[in-house]
Chains A and B, each alone.
Chain A
Amino acid sequence: MNPQEPARARPGPAFTLTFDGREIAAVPGQTVAAALWAAGATSWRTTRRAGRPRGVFCGIGVCFDCLVTVNGSPNQRACLVPARPGDVVRTQEGTGHED
């Protein structure tokens, strides 16, 4: 079941963004993390040392585990940043900068 149903959510028209090149659908009001969860993704970062996958942990902007690269800017907290039409979201490897 989609949790939007019991809440009778009637968001505006869906739009697309890309996640590692794959098109995914999002609706207005969703954060990047919410759009990724709704598309079935739970990880979008690898850690700097061990290269381990991470995604949302605290859900409220405190832990920085959900860092992701959006439109070329690394280190965006996916749980805070709103999803926008045409966003190019990429898995962030390490610091997200080419070292």
Chain B
Amino acid sequence: MRTDLAVIGAGPAGLAAALAAAARGLRVTVLDSAPAPGGQFHRQPAPGLAAHRPRLPHDRGRGWRWLRDALAASDVTVLTDHHVWVVEHGFTVHALLGPEQRESVAVRAEAVLLATGGYEKVLPFPGWTLPGVVAAGGAQAMLKGGLVVPGRRAVVAGTGPLLLPVATGLAAAGVVVPALVEAADPAAFLRHRRALAAKLPEGAGYAARLLRHRVRFLARHTVVRAHGGRALTGVTVAALDSGGHVRPGTGRYIPCDTLAVGHGMVPHTDLAETLGCRLAGAAVRVDDEQRTDVPGVWAAGEATGIGGAALALAEGHIAGRSVAARLRGTAPDPSTWARAAGTRARLREFARALDAVYAPPAHWAEQVPDGTVVCRCEEVTAGAVREAARDLGAGDPRTVKLLTRAGMGWCQGRMCAPAVAGIAGCEPAPSRRPFARPVPLGVLARQHRDATATDDATGEGAGEATDEGTEEGPS
């Protein structure tokens, strides 16, 4: 299959870009691993559930209806259940067909837009691997997409703006939410009140809903332990002092069968990294037109920095218009997207303020006991990570990984990388994962055969079987 622009990710960023580019005459194909477009924010109940009022706990509906209707009226091709595992230069987008993921298809494109969003960061604490402890956004995704909840009594904890919709969403679905445990210090909100003022009404709305559902808001608190044998039975929460230390003697036990916990988001950068795009910190680096430093590759939305759905929309729109102009060989006129650029600037500033306010407890790493598992896949403890850093002199995450296997499992370090770096006391390093998805050996073998037959493989990814990306997974 051939297209002008391949968009990877059908969230607000990818859809806004696809619509803007298609409206300017490009053939656009959007690929997403999910069974339906929408991304995280606009995730819809699975079509089979036939939800007639999917609004609660979903967004207020208008934004999604607009995107959905515009998409239906456009010529954009949307390929759902397509898990992109690598993008080769030139460009060929390779995607495994879901949910089985045993067949791979290729889409050839003149330009690529990476709109892959992000995933949640969860920092470890004793008991965090117990069944019943779920990522906050994960609980939200299961609720939005599957209309299911994991239990009857859920504590929501961690830090970040996502905890508010998760707590109110679970409560509206009938779950008792005894507490929302937020590490951030209310004083930090006051320091940033100018930048955050625009969102005050939204904050007030959440406050009212928390009150209505009798959710206690415990600011400057943290979960110190999740309890249970084979499943969660409760959590101990404690207050933090102004320096971010747990205040001794403040611990209290809250019975619950669910803990929805999250400490912020991490951009998905695997595809960008394999293409050789430069990163800025943990995100894909882009210019004012949302171009990466690799010609022909654009990026927008949370892959380029965490900032929410409205920012993703603005960035996507700009990216789509830039692609449309550049593929015609002309330089775009940024004054034509001045409004979107204004929104983008405003929301990026807002995101920076949120980032300064919402932070995990400053001393979270010291508070993880040696016996706590940090790498969930390989079951590597904090003690083993510390030993690698201290006694064996591992000064970077890659060496820690080689010595301990932390980050070598199925998730390829997506879940533990920030925690391993924090506990080892080093800076997180780019992951350099060969593929964005585990790829069955049979698919790799076929790619290799096709590549040698047609002599037309240019990327480094295809045809290279690795221990990490195989059907069997790591041993």
Contact present for B137 and A60 (CB under 8 Å): yes
Contact present for B376 and A1 (CB under 8 Å): no
**Given the complex of chains A and B, what is the CA–CA distance between A48 and B378 in angstroms?**
8
Asked if A12 CB lies within 8 Å of chain B CBs, one says yes
A60 / chain B contacts, CB cutoff of 8 Å: 40, 119, 137-138, 141
Asked if B146 CB lies within 8 Å of chain A CBs, one says yes
**Given the complex of chains A and B, what is the CA–CA distance between A75 and B472 in angstroms?**
8
> Could you tell me the distance in whole angstroms from the C-beta of B302 to the nearest C-beta in chain A?
13
User: Which residues of B208-238 are within 8 A (CB) of A?
Assistant: 230-231
B376 / chain A contacts, CB cutoff of 8 Å: 54, 57, 63, 65
Contact present for B131 and A3 (CB under 8 Å): no
List the B residue with the shortest CB-CB distance to A37: B148
- From B50, B51, B135, B410, contact of A59 by CB (8 A): B135
| Given known contacts A54-B129, A60-B138, A3 and B173 CB-to-CB distance under 8 angstroms | yes
The 10 lowest CB-CB distance pairs between A and B, nearest first, are A29-B48, A59-B138, A1-B174, A34-B146, A28-B48, A64-B410, A29-B46, A43-B131, A3-B173, A29-B49
Asked if A53 CB lies within 8 Å of chain B CBs, one says yes
**Size range of the interface on B?**
35 or more
Which one of B35, B135, B137, B146 has the greatest number of beta carbons of chain A within 10 Å? B146
User: Which residues of B375-395 are within 8 A (CB) of A?
Assistant: 376-379
**Given the complex of chains A and B, what is the CA–CA distance between A80 and B303 in angstroms?**
22
B377 / chain A contacts, CB cutoff of 8 Å: 64
User: Which residues of A13-71 are within 8 A (CB) of B?
Assistant: 27-31, 33-34, 37-38, 42-43, 47-50, 52-65, 67
Q: List 13 A-B contacts (CB under 8 A).
A: A1-B173, A2-B147, A6-B172, A7-B147, A10-B52, A11-B50, A31-B146, A34-B148, A53-B130, A53-B131, A55-B132, A57-B133, A58-B119
A9 / chain B contacts, CB cutoff of 8 Å: 45, 49-52, 147
**Given the complex of chains A and B, what is the CA–CA distance between A39 and B321 in angstroms?**
47
List the B residue with the shortest CB-CB distance to A51: B379
User: Which residues of B396-423 are within 8 A (CB) of A?
Assistant: 409-411, 414-415
Report which A residues bind B (CB closer than 8 A): 1-4, 6-12, 27-31, 33-34, 37-38, 42-43, 47-50, 52-65, 67, 75, 79-82, 95, 97
**Given the complex of chains A and B, what is the CA–CA distance between A9 and B134 in angstroms?**
24
Interface SS of chain B: loop
| Given known contacts A30-B146, A50-B379, A6 and B135 CB-to-CB distance under 8 angstroms | no
**Given the complex of chains A and B, what is the CA–CA distance between A81 and B99 in angstroms?**
6
**Given the complex of chains A and B, what is the CA–CA distance between A79 and B472 in angstroms?**
19
Contact present for B137 and A37 (CB under 8 Å): no
A3 / chain B contacts, CB cutoff of 8 Å: 143, 147-149, 173-174
List the B residue with the shortest CB-CB distance to A29: B48
Contact present for B48 and A58 (CB under 8 Å): no
> Could you tell me the distance in whole angstroms from the C-beta of A44 to the nearest C-beta in chain B?
9
Contact present for A57 and B415 (CB under 8 Å): yes
- From A1, A48, A59, contact of B142 by CB (8 A): A59
Asked if B54 CB lies within 8 Å of chain A CBs, one says yes
